[in-house]
Amino acid sequence: MSHISERYTQAQSLWQGLEASDAPVFYVGAATCGRAAGAGAVMDRLRSEIAARGIDAQIVEVGCLGPCCLEPLMIAHKPGTPDICYGKVGPDEAAAILERHVLGNDPCAEWALGCMDGSRLDGIGPLMEHPMLALQVRRVLRNCGRIDPESMDHYLAQDGYRGFLRALELGPDGVINEVKNAGLRGRGGAGFPTWRKWEFARASAGSPKYLICNADEGDPGAFMNRSLLEGDPHAVLEGMLIAGLAMGASEGYVYCRAEYPLAIHRLEIALTQMRETGLLGENIAGSDFTFDIHIKKGAGAFVCGEETALIASIEGLRGMPRPKPPFPAVSGLWGRPTVIQNVETLGNLPLILHKGAEWYSSIGSASSKGTKTFALAGKIARTGLVEVPLGITLREIVFDIGGGIDGGRAFKAVQTGGPSGGCIPAEQLDLPVDYESLTAAGSIMGSGGMIVLDEDSCMVDIARFFLGFTQQESCGKCVPCRVGTRAMLNTLERISIGEGQAKDIAKLQEIAETVKQGSLCGLGQTAPNPVLTTLRYFANEYEDHISKGQCTAMVCQKLVGYHIDPERCIGCGACRRSCPVEAITGETKKPHSIDGKVCIHCGACLTVCPSSASAVFRTSGELTRVESVEKRKSAVKSS
């Protein structure tokens, strides 16, 4: 077993050898998102091309660089030139880049996103100047998309574990102090000061003490933790060592949801590497610190992201939360002092210890220091994983980084915090993104999910979607959550099919208050939030549904009627042929008509009606909507 400090030289030379390689290197972004986009086929093609040409080239599977909308991503290293990052690389593009750029002189600018490490080449600017990346500060995600997550040497070469070694020197008190000065707050959503959790656990009696990494990440649309675990698992594990040292734990668990098999696989490899390097077990790195880490897989329950339910799950029990107090820091896993931390919180620790609290707290807002990763999704032009300094405005995230709304439609709201969070409307776009500001606006930071909504999003439907999720995921233990969410969902469903009543809004408000106040755990306490924020900012949409039977966004299909304008219809029959339920009748060259009783609101007719006619239109309540072909096509596609 080699000691960690002996490994650095070896690691650095290996990494430098790769960076300055005489042979071509292709770094393919093959995390789960990349694979879903087709990175597997890209790598296969590269392999066959390399074999066919008999050249000496290397393919390195890396994690996610961030711009998921541009995947598959590939960084090509042509010896002697700056590395170039390419986007939307399919197998053909990869072959072309190999042929034209690596073996030729043409850098394939049409697919290039930018040069790595601040360089330029032939009009291709630095990657960090790309609009999606320009405002980002990639600290926690610094290694993702660059290193091979299954290579410990790559991690060590990026100063991996130096933070932990410094932590050993500082000792638990020193570490706590450093993290306190850094101002790190829990990134799981609650924003609780990390150092304080450790202190509670240190002060509590009981042994062994446990540190748990909560990698359950259940919010729909959230993939921050997954990307970090898949792209740079050692960063999280090093964080666990630091946290374990600070709180006095000797055992650690990574509770990772079973739906993340690649992350689990990478974690297992990383743990083996740690053991081989003396970073787990007794007398770690020659100190008297003993620590070991186990992986526990989740089993498909969102509620197990709640800390006491997570603890129950590790104990082999049904994942149901327990009343607090006692808090886990006093009595947690098997009754011992336990600290549960979010993956990203842990990912911040190596940097804080290595580079210091002053460096860390140099960015961020007054109350919220450092950076935060966000999973940017929804009706936005550039979706992906971004990391920004806290205090940045929503407008910058949505419009500068995210590129604004797809298809030129109007921005309506951004939903943060997943099913526990809320919607923030256009009037609040200049809100700084930090814990306090988001809470004051009626939402929460959450773990980083950020879903952008536009004029074609129905806020009643959004509330219904999130409430449907929490209703399904409710464990069923306490009455307010189990039944209260169902009562709210029933009300929302009635409203969305046109059976809403005037008293429903007040009723929703009252039920929501009861569920918030009466629920046992965070799931129930926050489940009404989507309803409450949409009622706060978009009450008019609810009222329209109820009093006019109108869904302005044309989402609630029971309230939408499809019609053909007889004066514009040219009788081409395209709609009639496309209708899957034969709801459209008409003779050739004569105006067609849609039978509303048969129509299933699929929108096919809307997309095929020729732009010269634009005869198909939708109504809802008092609203009539006629739109251009492009808008129609993209509207129907994204709804």
Residues in touch with another protein (CB under 8 A): 301, 303, 318, 320, 322-323, 325-326, 471-480, 482-487, 490-491, 507, 510-511, 514, 517-520, 525
CB of 487 to another protein, least distance (A): 4
CB 318, min distance to another protein, A: 6
Nearer to another protein, 157 or 478 (CB): 478
Nearest to another protein of 154, 322 (CB atom): 322
Report whether 215 contacts 239 (CB < 8 A).
no
Residue 171 CB contacts under 8 Å (≥ 6 apart), including other chains: none
User: Closest separation between CB of residue 191 and another protein, Å?
Assistant: 15
- For residue 223 the two structure tokens come to 């993939």
Specify the residue, 54 or 316, whose C-beta has the smaller distance to another protein.
Answer: 316
User: For another protein, which is the closer residue by CB, 194 or 491?
Assistant: 491
Give the Cα separation of 103 and 428 in Å (integer): 51
- Structure tokens that stand for 489 in this block: 């969902």
The nearer residue to another protein, 275 or 507, going by C-beta atoms, is: 507
- For the CB of residue 480, give the shortest distance to another protein in the complex, in Å: 6
User: What is the C-alpha separation between 315 and 435, in angstroms, rounded?
Assistant: 32
- Assign 3-class secondary structure to 548-615: HCCCCCCCCHHHCEEEECCCCCCCCCHHHHHCCCCCEECCCCCCCEECCCCCCCCCHHHHHCCCCCCC
On whether the CB atoms of residues 485 and 467 are closer than 8 A, the answer is yes
**Minimum distance, C-beta of residue 436 to another protein, in the bound complex (Å):** 17
Residue with Cβ nearer another protein (494 or 601): 494
Q: Which two tokens stand for residue 110?
A: 């049409």
Quickly tell me which residue has 């952008």 as its tokens: 452
Taking the complex as a whole, the smallest distance from the CB of residue 495 to another protein amounts, in Å, to 12
- Smallest gap from residue 516 Cβ to another protein (A): 9
Closest to another protein by CB, 518 vs 591, is 518
Least distance CB 239 / another protein (angstroms): 29
Structure tokens at 125: 């600017």
Least Å from the CB of residue 200 to another protein: 16
Nearer to another protein, 429 or 479 (CB): 479
**Closer residue to another protein (CB): 66 or 328:** 328
Cβ–Cβ under 8 Å, residues 161 and 80 = no
In angstroms, the CA 535 to CA 405 distance is: 23
Using the minimum distance from each CB to another protein, give the nearer residue, 62 or 527: 527
Directed axis angle between helix 343-355 and helix 224-231, to 10°? 60
| Helical axes 233-247 vs 194-203, angle rounded to 10° | 40
Beta carbon of residue 488, minimum distance to another protein (angstroms, whole number): 8
Measured from the CB atom, is 88 or 507 closer to another protein? 507
Beta partners for 339? 211
Tokens at 498, concatenated: 């046109």
Matching residue, tokens 């729909």: 220
Which DSSP string corresponds to 325-357? SSPTTTS-GGGS-EEEEEHHHHHHHHHHHHH-H
How many CB atoms neighbour CB 547 within 10 A? 12
Q: How far apart are CB 485 and another protein at their closest, in Å?
A: 8
CA distance 603 to 634: 11
